[in-house]
Amino acid sequence: MPQLSPNALRVLESRYLLKNSEGEVTETPQQLFKRVASHIAKAELSYSSKDTAQKWEEIFYTIMSELYFLPNSPTLMNAGLPLNQLSACFVLPVEDSIEEIFTTLKNTALIQQSGGGTGFNFSKLRHNGDFIQTTSSYSSGPISFMKIYDAATGNIKQGGKRRGANMGILNVDHPDIEEFITVKSEEGVLSNFNISVGMYDAFMKAVEDDAEWELKHPNTREVVRTVKAKVLWDRIVSNAWSSGDPGLVFLDTINADNPTPLVGQIQCTNPCGEVPLLPYEACNLGSIDVAKFFNVTERKFDWEKLTEVIHAAVRFLDNVIDMNNYIIPEIKQMVKGNRKIGLGVMGWADLLMKMEIPYASQEALQFAEKLMLYIETECDNASEQLAKERGVFANWEKSVYYPNRKMRNATRTSIAPTGTISIIADTSSSIEPNFALAIRRENVLNNESLFDINEHVIRYLKAKGLFTEEILNEITKHGTIANTDLPNEIKDLFRISLEIAPEWHIRHQVAFQRYTDNAVSKKIGRASCRERV
């Protein structure tokens, strides 16, 4: 097992390693990885022998302890413990009655207490001021209930170890959409939510044509009033620019690629948007540190080793589905019905630095597509192999794969933010460029900050004979080499996030999304996702 960085040890000790009643750490990182590997490998006993389970336990331990692959935080936190809730992402339905609204809130509390994040589409709730015949009263609208959910989340620290997070969606034809768009313009309102407008192709066409847009009653679908589509669109853009919210969720596009259309329509995503899910679905995520597969000395990328890790990681995540403790029966049924997993990447920016490829370059985009196509292909191969060994997912006959392609998992790939697991792996997060070459992370731990200097830039400058104390001081003080006298080609190689034009951020997202069957969580400009997973 490689030596963990000081920041990795601090994060593990704060959030992941077991503690006694006095709060003293009683588990080492090695023991954590062994605990997780042992528990997840027990799924093999349902399909094969004890020897096979032992073999995979050793493989799972190796890929985690060597930091090639890490699962989402709830798996690291809870595997093999009494709670044993292993999933990061959930979507829960919100139906239009007080009983159902608060039943969902109760389920949300249980999920968030166990370390999971939740997504909701509130569009079934009647609009503010609508008359309710059964009680002879008037509805307070979905935003009022979102604030109740937000307050509850603020009082539930996920798994006792991390902040709660939600995705809240309201469809663009809901009568309260105008209030929803501006709700986060006030500081502190819905602070535990990312919010997004559920978009339709018809609305975008209405914007293009400068047409009227109908806002409809959520239940009767009668037109409540009409607005100018372009005015509504401008308001969305303005608020997204000023506060980062709302985002956009293109529901028609998502459902055009819905792998199980006969099971249901997708109306929501997890908190950071990388996993569109049906009501009561959950998804188990994991990420591979792609930077660890490039040998700087030999100038070579190890595709063979990557293949081994991908197949082991897909098997690991499929096992998680069997070994998980499902808090709500409906979730167990949906998860085992579709067996969705999401294997993604971290360390992309560090990989480019090691390969000496600038983030803002066509060469980077070309390698991004090559890499993600390879990962997608091997994930599919691994899932097909598991289908031969264990059978297809239960809803396979209701999926787009029926009858020609037998798959174990309805989805296989997803690119998550990897906020804390990338710190454990001592690598750059997700597919993001480095935020700075020297960074102080606030709010990752309760009242502590984490400081780190990017080792790749230091190693590179030393190898080129360009390293000086003045440059180190500049990096430490400003987090960038932009104001040094270093050659422009070196500055290009080590540009940080804010020095890279938004178009390059989007191009990277497009490159990875092309070969990702869920979605990609990506920070662009001022809009950002909470660091999670």
Helix (H, G, I), strand (E, B) or coil at 453: strand
CB atoms within 10 A of CB 204: 16
Query: Which one of the listed residues 44, 57, 214, 274 is annotated catalytic?
Result: 274
Beta strands per DSSP E along 392-501: 438-442, 449-453
CB atoms within 10 A of CB 162: 24
CB 65 within 8 A of CB 4: no
Q: What does the alpha-carbon distance between residue 6 and residue 451 come to, in Å, rounded to a whole number?
A: 10
* Tokens standing for residue 197: 């407008």
Cross-strand pairs, 120 = 168
CB 480 within 8 A of CB 436: yes
* Tokens standing for residue 30: 């090695």
Helix (H, G, I), strand (E, B) or coil at 108: helix
CB 273 within 8 A of CB 196: yes
Query: Which one of the listed residues 171, 194, 239, 270 is annotated catalytic?
Result: 270
7 labelled catalytic? no
CB 375 within 8 A of CB 445: no
CA distances from 271 to 89, 411, 516 (A): 8, 18, 18
Query: Which one of the listed residues 272, 283, 379, 529 is annotated catalytic?
Result: 272
The torsion angle over the Cα atoms of residues 506, 508, 512 and 517, rounded to 10 degrees, is -10
* CA-based torsion, 270, 117, 288, 478: positive or negative: positive
Cross-strand pairs, 248 = 197
258 labelled catalytic? no
Of residues 364, 311, 374, 303, the one with CA closest to residue 341? 311
Q: What is the CA radius of gyration of the chain?
A: 23
Of residues 259, 377, 364, the one with CA closest to residue 310? 377
CA distances from 419 to 116, 331, 448 (A): 14, 25, 16
Q: Which residues contact 302 (CB under 8 A, 6 or more apart)?
A: 293, 294, 295
* Tokens standing for residue 209: 């044509």
CB 52 within 8 A of CB 44: yes
404 labelled catalytic? no
Residue 467 sits at φ, ψ, to 5 deg, of -75, 135
Catalytic residue annotation: 270, 272, 274
